[in-house]
Homo-oligomer: A and B are copies of this chain.
């Protein structure tokens, strides 16, 4: 007699609620906590125990979900890179399309490249601000630099191509050097260390991302244009 097994007394709905539990939320909370901690102390300065504690999950779960500490780090870096790349790439495409057969403006191209980063840093979601700081740290590190290539080289190639259309007489080397300076300035801005506030005695606020990025676009649009005449 296939009978009174207690599990048969649960309704399907009740079983469904209990079974997968809150796994997706926990995964997300782990990524958020890891993002915050890694962004301020780097890969080696954070322990999986700290991440688990901040995410309010068991210490074993980071390894269960992501395989290893490094797997967690990679997952954090990957998550928002995709979102950012999609927005930045689409923006550049739109600027080129809008120009038709003419030349797109350098300023419009840089704006498209930079604007999604600005929005990330000005976002009310602290996760995006943490992510910006994480990227800044990875970009200055020798050991993790290959992560930048993996995630951002395609987008950068698109930026350079667009600038080549806008500045057809520019030498390739000048374009790359100018890009190098741009990315240095951009990532330091993303690092948001508060140093500009301090140095300028409060005249400049790193918290005002809009102000920072407006200056950034203006400054480098001129710089690219001037460098193209060398």
Q: Contact at A140–B143, with CB atoms within 8 Å?
A: no
Q: How many copies does the complex hold?
A: 2
Q: For the complex, what is the distance from the CA of A185 to the CA of B186, rounded to whole Å? A: 9
Known A-B contacts A41-B44, A180-B196, A193-B145; the reply to A139 vs B173 at CB < 8 A is no
A61 at the interface (CB under 8 A from B): no
Q: For the complex, what is the distance from the CA of A173 to the CA of B194, rounded to whole Å? A: 15
A4 at the interface (CB under 8 A from B): no
Q: For the complex, what is the distance from the CA of A44 to the CA of B45, rounded to whole Å? A: 5
A56 at the interface (CB under 8 A from B): no
A78 at the interface (CB under 8 A from B): no
Cβ-closest chain B residue relative to A222:
B226
A176 at the interface (CB under 8 A from B): yes
Q: How large is the interface on A (under 10, 10 to 19, 20 to 34, 35 or more residues)?
A: 35 or more
Q: Contact at B195–A148, with CB atoms within 8 Å?
A: yes
CB < 8 Å: which of B140, B176, B203, B230 contacts A173?
A: B203
Main SS of the interface on chain A?
helix
* Closest CB in chain B relative to A35 CB, distance in Å: 13
Chain B residues with CB below 8 A from A28, complex form:
none
Q: Contact at A216–B181, with CB atoms within 8 Å?
A: yes
A162 at the interface (CB under 8 A from B): no
Q: For the complex, what is the distance from the CA of A142 to the CA of B44, rounded to whole Å? A: 15
A33 at the interface (CB under 8 A from B): no
Q: For the complex, what is the distance from the CA of A19 to the CA of B187, rounded to whole Å? A: 51
Chain B residues with CB below 8 A from A137, complex form:
137, 140-141
* A–B complex contacts, Cβ < 8 Å, 25 sampled: A41-B143, A43-B45, A140-B191, A141-B193, A145-B193, A145-B195, A153-B199, A156-B199, A176-B196, A176-B200, A176-B203, A177-B215, A181-B184, A181-B215, A181-B220, A183-B188, A184-B185, A184-B186, A184-B187, A185-B185, A218-B230, A219-B223, A222-B223, A222-B226, A223-B223
